[in-house]
Amino acid sequence: MECHQLFDSAEETVAFPGTDEETVLVTALLASLSQGLLYLDAGGTVRIINRTAESMLQVSRAAVIGKRIDMLPLRSSLYKVFSDRCRNGSVELSCNGKVFAVRSTMLESVQRSAYGEVIELQDITAEKRERRQREEFVAMMTHDLKSPLTVMMGYIQALKHDIIGSVDGTLHFSIEELDRSSHKLLVMIDDMLDAFRLEVGLLQVNREPCDIRSILQGCCRDFAREARAHGVELTYAIDPEIPLLRADGKQLARVFSNLTGNAIKFTAHGGTVSLAASVRDGYIQVAIQDTGIGIPPQELGKIFHKYYRANGASGFKGTGLGLTISKAIVEAHCGSIGVDSVEGSGSRFTVTLPLESVPVS
């Protein structure tokens, strides 16, 4: 069988078939692709365009085959595709009322002599429309849920400020419970919103000078009351030498609050929860350890999955999103989060963040 060799490596040889029957087969395969496909030779001349690409770009083979890029009308959709540099990854391009993901790949031999360029087109119009609709829905639902909750929280704060010293124990306790429950509901709404942001790649990290020591101390103070209510001893040891970081303090506070809250929630009365933070080998390491229910070994690899809840956590309230979001936040800071656990004996979650100190102003 005649073949025109494309790559002349001793380990890999890719050849174009040379018989008429095989040429027909290749043409049929190209025509059947759901993606648009174009090929330009090393001189920039269009040599191949499949039917899908013709339909996407609303052009005909006869009008483009054998023509160089500079011979195409400047305003044509085909010229837009060829002139857009998309070799470092897929780019989005709007043409004829639709949105395409465009990516190009250079064909080269092992001697680096160019054979041309292959361009792939994928219609993502429906995907973009669905994504926009979901964004609008989540934005609307978040506003509709948060607005009345914010009003309620405002009135609760006013009650705490104005009458907390003049009411009996029962009413005092009720106001505190309202305050705590409203904050929990707000966290759940934020978790749902951030889960969506993760799904569509919109979770943002705003880096600025951040005092990790203050964040951790504040987290422990905030959970001291909850720990006492559960009959759990909460202790912490934070290295005073931890420097400022350039990080998103609000997001990291959320990570540590989630891990500390989980540790207290899953630890029985009389148990302990400890938080330790130190600097090691150019990293900040924060470990949160408890003597709680622990995690079965077969479930350790799943606990960071969205909505996953271990079997032992079935009797506890939660969305199953906290660990997923925490992992995404830590990784967005180029860090890592891991867990060691023994079922029935407790768990240890460790957050490691690269040490990037910033000057104190």
pLDDT < 70 regions, the chain: 1-20, 23, 27, 74-80, 82-89, 109-114, 163-169, 197-202, 307-320, 357-361
Sheet strand arrangement including 272-280 = 233-238, 272-280, 283-290, 346-354, 336-342
Say how far apart CA 307 and CA 323 lie, in whole Å: 9
Which domains does the chain possess?
Answer: 33-123 (3.30.450.20), 128-200 (1.10.287), 208-354 (3.30.565.10)
- Helices and strands: H and E segment counts in the chain: 9, 14
pLDDT, residue 17, reads 45
pLDDT, residue 4, reads 41
For residue 35, the Cα-to-chain-centroid distance in whole angstroms is 27
pLDDT, residue 271, reads 95
pLDDT, residue 314, reads 53
pLDDT tens digits, 122-173: 888 888 887 777 777 777 777 777 777 888 888 787 777 776 566 666 777 7
Q: Burial-class residue 212 by CB neighbours within 10 Å (0-12, 13-18, 19+).
A: buried
Long-range Cβ contacts of 229-234 (<8 Å, 24+ apart): 230/264, 230/265, 230/267, 230/269, 231/269, 231/270, 232/264, 232/267, 232/269, 232/270, 232/271, 232/272, 232/273, 233/271, 233/272, 233/273, 234/260, 234/264, 234/272, 234/273, 234/274, 234/275
Pairing mode, strands 283-290 and 346-354: antiparallel
Q: Are 292 and 267 spatial neighbours (Cβ–Cβ below 8 Å)?
A: yes
Say how far apart CA 291 and CA 343 lie, in whole Å: 10
In which element (H, E) is residue 353 found? Answer: strand 346-354
pLDDT tens digits, 227-279: 998 999 999 999 998 999 999 998 899 899 999 999 999 999 999 999 999 99
Q: What is the 3-state secondary structure (H, E, C) of 46-99?
A: EEEECHHHHHHHCCCHHHHCCCEHHHCCCCCHHHHHHHCCCCCCCEEEEECCEE
Say which residues have a Cβ less than 8 Å from residue 97's Cβ, sequence separation at least 6: none
pLDDT, residue 6, reads 37
- Please, what is the end-to-end C-alpha distance for the chain in angstroms? 74
Radius of gyration of the chain (CA): 29
pLDDT, residue 144, reads 76
pLDDT, residue 12, reads 33
> For residue 48, which of 14, 70, 73, 23 has the smallest C-alpha distance?
23
Say how far apart CA 50 and CA 46 lie, in whole Å: 11
Say how far apart CA 61 and CA 257 lie, in whole Å: 61
Q: Are 265 and 337 spatial neighbours (Cβ–Cβ below 8 Å)?
A: no
Specify the pTM.
0.55
> For residue 292, which of 234, 236, 345 has the smallest C-alpha distance?
345
- 305 forms beta bridges with none
Q: Are 279 and 246 spatial neighbours (Cβ–Cβ below 8 Å)?
A: no
> For residue 160, which of 143, 134, 178 has the smallest C-alpha distance?
178
Say how far apart CA 183 and CA 254 lie, in whole Å: 13
Amino acid identity, residue 299? E
Say how far apart CA 98 and CA 124 lie, in whole Å: 8
